Structure 1
Amino acid sequence: MESVNFKVELIKSDDCVTLMARGHVGKDDLISEAIRQGEIDEDDRERFDKAEFCSQKWMKAVPREGYTAYYYESREGVRGAFKATCLQYLW
């Protein structure tokens, strides 16, 4: 079994789909690892390859009714904030 350096999460909202991983991750590595972990299918690779919004930013998970995890953009130094790589495409 291959070792995993980071976990990928697929986050869907009303207007976009986001692949998110903690830390600084390259776009190709993020997509490949998302496929390997089963977050997306190989058929989704092209859609994410074409996504232009890929950035590293500070994120924070907060409790919110109806969500297993709800993430929002934060600032460095905020308690619980973490650096993440986010790759998004609009629906």
Structure 2
Amino acid sequence: MKIDIFTTNEIIAIVMELVDKLEVYQLYGFEDESDLNIPKPINDKLENLDSNNYDDFICKCLEIAEEILTIKIGELNELNYCHQEISFLAKNRLNEYIKRS
């Protein structure tokens, strides 16, 4: 199965959703176990990954989310910085999942 299926923007959407879930845990002390609130086309791509690739992908996205959580404040400039940082980290850690042009 071809796994280079995500664009950088799709990875940003996934990681930012994971950051939001980590924020809930940090603020309220409980894990948000609900499904990821991401657009259906991205969710469909996640569901098409086999079990090993899915686990690997989500684990790497969570690692990135944990790093991004420390810089996310919510102001526009910080969100732009978060997106830039996710793009950089994704290229290093999720290269095999990123769609090639």
**TM-score, with structure 1 as normaliser:** 0.35
Which of the two has greater helix per residue?
Answer: 2
- Structure with the greater relative contact order (CA < 8 A, sep ≥ 6): 1 or 2? 2
Which of the two has greater strand per residue?
Answer: 1
**TM-score, with structure 2 as normaliser:** 0.33
